[in-house]
Amino acid sequence: MKIKCTISYDGTQFSGYQVQPNKRTVQSELEAVLSKIHKNPVKVYASGRTDASVHAVGQVVHFDTSLTIPFDRWKKALNAMLPDDISVTLIEEAGEGFHARFSAKAKEYHYIIDRSEQPDIFKRNYRYHFPYKLDVHSMREACELLQGTHDFTSFCAAKSAVEDRVRTIHKIEIEEVDNELVFSFIGNGFLYNMVRILVGTLLDVGQGIIVPQEIPNIIDGKDRNLSGKTVPGHGLFLWKVYYDN
Amino acid sequence: MKIKCTISYDGTQFSGYQVQPNKRTVQSELEAVLSKIHKNPVKVYASGRTDASVHAVGQVVHFDTSLTIPFDRWKKALNAMLPDDISVTLIEEAGEGFHARFSAKAKEYHYIIDRSEQPDIFKRNYRYHFPYKLDVHSMREACELLQGTHDFTSFCAAKSAVEDRVRTIHKIEIEEVDNELVFSFIGNGFLYNMVRILVGTLLDVGQGIIVPQEIPNIIDGKDRNLSGKTVPGHGLFLWKVYYDN
């Protein structure tokens, strides 16, 4: 049987999602617990990796099991055995054709900025502190121009080996909540560091370093040097992965 | 010159406020930074200690200095040198008679409970997860009976050596915010573990283990065994210290 598992994690103490030798990763913690339960090695497949210090509210993974454990007990057992910075929020049976990565239709990321002059120390691992003046209206204009289907080479880490860099962003929104700015992105897929470079570019727009009307040229230039900085990972959350139904 | 310094800290990685040999404490971090700036040992006096994993939003400390540095530069220098889980929020000159502990007129503590069935992992170090049914109305009745001037022996850690256990609680309030319950306590002083035992007792009231009308007997009994459990430190915040003016 194939099990679909929705998990949340605090990325602060992880060297990212994916297994790396001698590093603490989300995948290695999950596989260690599942292998213990199964008394056999179990491999876990995620919707995609996340980098060091990046968080997840709704990451999705799947694994195969021959055990017949009721779903509520699966959830309790996993949460009891997992470290307290990973939490299983939902366990479901998935059809045999399901794959956490290849069945995903879209993903939603949030990036949160703390604009207070003095950062909230209780949120220091979950917010990027950016206390500078921002023209949110211009930033929203730039969002409109970034939405749609484009080759996002200018918004992809230069070291990425991916060849097809055409992606569709269905929606970018910026919400002001107290002293915070919450960016949300929904798209059919995101290149390496793409959300963090998009946010860095939008912050340049907010500061008047880039005007919104330049966005189409930045996209067309297909050059990482044209866009803004890569903002830090600790403000980023993999919020939700969308599948059919 | 005497300097009054308001600080905020995340207690998660500290063995409490007060210096202890070979432990990471808030006081030792503060004194290390100030001694470095002064090129001489500097002693720091706080309004009171806090235990391991207990946080502070508005702890107050004072120290003496012969340096003449403008206040805004004091704040910047300290924040640049302090670890990122301590933050100086305000620096002021204090009169020569000021003492962070002995001049304090009242203190305010908050204790926050996460009532969600599944705890928010991003708040796991800042909320006590307590997903059980609570009768908040009864808890508020008990608060009324706890307010005032009493001998709080029943609400003091048994190991405390303090002899005079009469304290005045000016106000206890319980606020429901989304899935959280925020307890706030203002009093002229609090005994060792007093806030955490008061919250544990109020949770017993909320669950019907203790009825509000028993509170006067629990106070009169002057026996730690009559009150509720000591709730964990990580839900507790030293919120504010009150001085004259």
Residues B188-233: tens digit of each pLDDT: 999 999 999 999 999 999 999 999 999 999 999 999 999 999 999 9
Would you name the residues of A annotated as active-site residues?
A: 51
| Chain centroid, CA A226 distance in Å | 23
Domain count, chain B: 2
The answer, for B86 touching chain A at a CB cutoff of 8 Å, is yes
B114-153 residue pLDDT tens: 999 988 999 999 999 999 999 999 999 999 999 999 999 9
**Does A245 have pLDDT greater than 80?**
no
A27-49: average pLDDT: 97
- pLDDT at residue A72 in the model: 82
- Among partner residues A86, A89, A118, which is closest to B87 by beta-carbon distance? A118
CB-based contact A44:A65 (threshold 8 Å): no
Q: Is A111 labelled a binding residue?
A: no
Q: CA-CA distance, A32 to A6, in Å (whole number)?
A: 17
Q: Does residue A136 form part of some domain?
A: yes
Residue ranges making up the domain that contains B44:
2-94
Assign 3-class secondary structure to chain B.
CEEEEEEEECHHHCCCCCCCCCCCCHHHHHHHHHHHHHCCCCCCEECCCCCCCCEEEEEEEEEECCCCCCHHHHHHHHHHHCCCCEEEEEEEEECCCCCCCCCCCEEEEEEEEECCCCCCHHHCCCCEECCCCCCHHHHHHHHHHHCEEEECHHHCCCCCCCCCCEEEEEEEEEEEECCEEEEEEEECCCCCCHHHHHHHHHHHHHCCCCCHHHHHHHHHHCCHHHCCCCCCHHHEEEEEEECCC
Binding site listing of B for substrate: 109
Q: Which two tokens stand for residue B218?
A: 């629990």
Pair A172, A74 in one domain = no
User: Bridge-partner residues for A171, per DSSP?
Assistant: A186
Pair A41, A161 in one domain = no
Pair B115, B46 in one domain = no
The answer, for B89 touching chain A at a CB cutoff of 8 Å, is yes
Interface test with A, best of B122, B123, B238, B239 (most A CBs within 10 A): B122
Pair B180, B126 in one domain = yes
Q: Nearest chain A Cα to B79, which residue? A: A118
B147-195 residue pLDDT tens: 999 999 999 998 888 999 999 999 999 999 999 999 999 999 999 999 9
The answer, for B87 touching chain A at a CB cutoff of 8 Å, is yes
Contact A87 B118 (CB under 8 A): yes
Q: Does residue B15 form part of some domain?
A: yes
B29-88 residue pLDDT tens: 999 999 999 999 999 999 999 999 999 999 999 999 999 888 889 999 999 999 999 999
Pair B28, B63 in one domain = yes
Q: CA-CA distance, A78 to B154, in Å (whole number)?
A: 40
Burial A166-192 (b: 16+ CB within 10 A, else e): ebebeebebeeeeebbbbbbbbebbbb
The answer, for B55 touching chain A at a CB cutoff of 8 Å, is yes
Boundary-marking domain end, from A59, A94, A129: A94
- pLDDT at residue B69 in the model: 87
Pair A233, A149 in one domain = yes
Domain holding A196: CATH number? 3.30.70.660
Q: Which two tokens stand for residue A35?
A: 């292998």
Would you name the residues of B annotated as active-site residues?
A: 51
Contact B122 A119 (CB under 8 A): no
Pair B33, B125 in one domain = no
Pair B67, B115 in one domain = no
- pLDDT at residue A197 in the model: 98
Better-predicted residue by pLDDT, A165 or B70: A165
DSSP state of A130: -
B213-to-B123, B143, B156, B225 alpha-carbon distances in Å = 34, 11, 20, 17
Chain A residues 24-53 within an 8 A CB cutoff of chain B = none
Q: Does residue A222 form part of some domain?
A: yes
Chain A residues in contact with B86 (beta carbon < 8 A) = 121
Pair A125, A158 in one domain = yes
Summary mean pLDDT of chain B: 96
Pair A7, A126 in one domain = no
**Does A132 have pLDDT greater than 90?**
yes
Q: Does residue B152 form part of some domain?
A: yes
| Cβ partners under 8 Å of residue B102, min gap 6 | none
Boundary-marking domain end, from B94, B122, B149: B94
A62 membership: H or E segment, kind and range: strand A55-64
A94-to-A4, A52, A144, A188, B180 alpha-carbon distances in Å = 6, 29, 36, 21, 34
Q: What angle, rounded to 10 degrees, do the helices at B136-146 and B194-206 form?
A: 140
- pLDDT at residue B191 in the model: 96
Boundary-marking domain end, from B35, B63, B94: B94
Q: Does residue B100 form part of some domain?
A: no
Q: Nearest chain B Cα to A119, which residue? A: B87
Pair B227, B126 in one domain = yes
Q: Does residue A99 form part of some domain?
A: no
Q: CA-CA distance, A45 to A54, in Å (whole number)?
A: 18
Pair B180, B143 in one domain = yes
Domain holding A40: CATH number? 3.30.70.580
Transcribe A19-38 into DSSP letters.
--TTS--HHHHHHHHHHHHH
Q: CA-CA distance, A213 to A230, in Å (whole number)?
A: 21
A173-194 residue pLDDT tens: 999 999 999 999 999 999 999 9
- pLDDT at residue B26 in the model: 98
**Does A135 have pLDDT greater than 90?**
yes
Chain B residues in contact with A128 (beta carbon < 8 A) = none
- Among partner residues B85, B119, B122, which is closest to A121 by beta-carbon distance? B85
Chain A residues in contact with B91 (beta carbon < 8 A) = none
- pLDDT at residue B201 in the model: 98
Q: Does residue A143 form part of some domain?
A: yes
Q: How confident is the model at residue A71 (pLDDT cuts 50, 70, 90)?
A: confident
CB-based contact A239:A184 (threshold 8 Å): yes
- pLDDT at residue B216 in the model: 98
- Among partner residues A55, A84, A89, which is closest to B124 by beta-carbon distance? A84
The answer, for B132 touching chain A at a CB cutoff of 8 Å, is no
Q: Does residue B137 form part of some domain?
A: yes
**Does A70 have pLDDT greater than 90?**
no
Q: Is this complex scored with an ipTM above 0.85?
A: yes
- Among partner residues A89, A124, A126, which is closest to B84 by beta-carbon distance? A124
Q: Nearest chain B Cα to A86, which residue? A: B121
B29 to chain A, closest Cα gap in Å: 16
Residue of B219, B208, B211 lying closest to B148 (CA atoms): B219
**Residue percentage of chain B with pLDDT more than 90:** 95
Q: Is the dihedral of CA A129, A135, A137, A141 positive or negative?
A: negative
